[in-house]
Structure 1
């Protein structure tokens, strides 16, 4: 699986698009607002740059991307008013893999600018926007060209499916039936990827530059402990395996399909930051987002379609491996499993957010 070419969220603005199925990510962005505000306030107050370069890595598309940008600019503009300091010019970089629907972002920029100016109500310097395709597990920007990096709900995606997990049969991620070598391979791939990510950002950020990262994670140290994020993939694996039993897809197709995700604990994230050594940890927080707010099925269908969120994220991977013909069937089955689970218990997802400063 060539993750760089295959992994992207569903584009456009249709029913199954990421733009219309990212409420879960929006909740997380809202809950971490105070961490970003602290980071950008500290950065700007201590440096007062005339030109402020901000990068959103793994930006995807939809209103979540622009809401973060708006939030950051408004914090800086408020600071400028308080300090009686001239507004800086803004350089905003949207980064994601080349398959991302960048056009969805660009088409929204005119209305975004007008709305932003209306909300700020004071004169601000120009704001320039750039699309930057490429993997953030490599260099994306020139040396010391960025002041602030935001990366939300992207770093749990690995650069590739871990090697040596051919024996993870019947599973598509880490499960309580996964052999120990599978768990080890996933963790080691996460370690390598996060270390590379940090090394690249350390070269791209100015001294004292800030990073805020949010990723889906887990509360417990044991990766096999069942939490909601792992349930997602167990439900999808169940749907696929049921389709094998009915002869709709082949068993070997499921056995060779693994999700390039890893959901870390806060300790695992912190350990890798310390080991890499380029950043000071300012703040690390574990928080939960509730994925459903009602046990009523009609409310779930109409407003909190968690199955739609998962489809928007993983459909391109499934199409690449199984073909388009199974998509409606697999997500119909997946949704039934999910609704049954929601009827029995609340489903919360665990998230890890960390705020970092580049060392001098």
Structure 2
């Protein structure tokens, strides 16, 4: 081959490789955008929206108020007067809960000032770019009256990365978000078979993949917040965890998701869903033990843990109970429980099964039957074990 032909061949080969690389990069970008799009709650304000089905989070907020108030007061005593307070809600989603939480924080801060010389408040509402921020913006007029020194900003992006400038943040808050992982665990593949999350019957490989992904993600979260936060800054975090170190204990930590997995498995047996589609569907969600959380905080090193508590949040946080004045209604309780789950899982479920003929409404109808039966047998609403942390940024 003469020199001219070799040059032409090299040029075309390089051009082909460059184009191929661009195509791969574009596919990776589209895949990342797809993941970002489906990792969100149901938007809007209709009957299936997260805004109208977030009683779990509201219940959890009511249980963490004492730690929230104590942490803010301790921070202000240590730090003294601050001209501008930067506060971030990490994983704010949409709906009224976000502004209720921020109102509580500002109310506590104002109670610490004896005069009317309040600091300015910069409130950052953080969630993924696909979050329904418009729903939040519509609520701001009711939030702003009487708060002339309060400024609210949307902060789209993953909290598993940097969000704010270094040494600028005073207070961070997150409720029912850190059980979500940044992605499906690496190396999981289809090893978890027909389980959509970690359950007692999951193989050891699946346990290890989920635990490693959680360790990476939570360490990254702490590192990023540590870089953004001023010395002695504080965070209050609440998320779903598990009581026992052993994943295979009798504790049904993944109860609601386990029942959804069983519903989908039944539909595979009936030929309504392919086994391959089910085996490739895994939730990017992990429920850590207290020991795991403590170990990661100590190893990462940016924060000291001031407090760590635990409490229970019922599946049906609307409050249907079995007491002297009310007959326990398993159907009502099961329906409420499923609506809460649907609000956060429907976008992901719909996207994964988008190329099938499966009817999402039918899936949730079947799922509701399983949950109602489970609650009826137990004669009570099971609960989510919730971990509550108060962290202090080291000097």
TM-score relative to the length of structure 1 = 0.93
Give the drift of 1:46. 2.4
Aligned to 2:160: 137
Aligned to 1:75: 108
42-51 or 258-267: bigger deviation? 42-51
The 8 Å contact of residues 217 and 265 in structure 1, kept in 2 or not, is answered as yes
Aligned to 1:107: 138
Aligned to 2:383: 348
Q: Does 1:29 align with 2:61?
A: yes
Deviations 1:257-302 (A, max 9, x none): 000000011111111000100101100011112234333145426x
Q: Pick one of 259, 270, 275 that aligns with 2:299.
A: 275
Once the two structures are superposed, the pairs formed by residues 259-270 of structure 1 within 5 Å of their partners are: 259-270=283-294
Aligned length: 348
Using the alignment, how far apart are the partners of 1:93 and 1:264 within structure 2?
Answer: 27
The 8 Å contact of residues 273 and 358 in structure 2, kept in 1 or not, is answered as no
Aligned to 2:214: 190
Q: Does 1:16 align with 2:48?
A: yes
Using the alignment, how far apart are the partners of 1:265 and 1:254 within structure 2?
Answer: 27
Once the two structures are superposed, the pairs formed by residues 42-57 of structure 1 within 5 Å of their partners are: 42-47=74-79, 48-57=81-90
Q: Does 1:316 align with 2:357?
A: no
Aligned to 2:6: none
5+ unaligned residues in a row in structure 1: which ranges? Answer: 118-123
**Structure 2 vs 1, CA of residues 105 and 260 (structure 1 numbering), >3 Å: closer, same or farther?**
same
5+ unaligned residues in a row in structure 2: which ranges? Answer: 1-30, 322-327
**Structure 2 vs 1, CA of residues 226 and 130 (structure 1 numbering), >3 Å: closer, same or farther?**
farther
Q: Does 1:160 align with 2:183?
A: yes
Q: Pick one of 372, 375, 392 that aligns with 1:339.
A: 372
Aligned to 1:212: 236
The 8 Å contact of residues 54 and 93 in structure 1, kept in 2 or not, is answered as yes
TM-score relative to the length of structure 2 = 0.85
The 8 Å contact of residues 51 and 91 in structure 1, kept in 2 or not, is answered as yes
Q: Does 1:91 align with 2:122?
A: yes
Aligned to 1:232: 256
Using the alignment, how far apart are the partners of 1:337 and 1:169 within structure 2?
Answer: 20
SS at 2:172's partner residue? strand
Using the alignment, how far apart are the partners of 2:253 and 2:367 within structure 1?
Answer: 14
Deviations 1:208-230 (A, max 9, x none): 11011111011111123354541
Deviations 1:235-276 (A, max 9, x none): 111111111112211110000000000001111111100010
SS at 1:318's partner residue? helix
SS at 1:98's partner residue? coil
Using the alignment, how far apart are the partners of 2:247 and 2:150 within structure 1?
Answer: 43
Deviations 1:138-167 (A, max 9, x none): 101111111000011111100111122222
Using the alignment, how far apart are the partners of 1:311 and 1:161 within structure 2?
Answer: 19
Aligned to 2:202: 178
**Structure 2 vs 1, CA of residues 5 and 298 (structure 1 numbering), >3 Å: closer, same or farther?**
closer
Using the alignment, how far apart are the partners of 1:126 and 1:325 within structure 2?
Answer: 51
Q: Pick one of 23, 36, 40 that aligns with 1:4.
A: 36
Using the alignment, how far apart are the partners of 1:13 and 1:67 within structure 2?
Answer: 17
Give the drift of 1:42. 1.3
Of structures 1 and 2, the larger Rg is shown by 2
Aligned to 1:121: none
Using the alignment, how far apart are the partners of 1:148 and 1:56 within structure 2?
Answer: 9
Using the alignment, how far apart are the partners of 1:101 and 1:135 within structure 2?
Answer: 15
SS at 1:32's partner residue? helix
Deviations 1:53-74 (A, max 9, x none): 0000100011111111000000
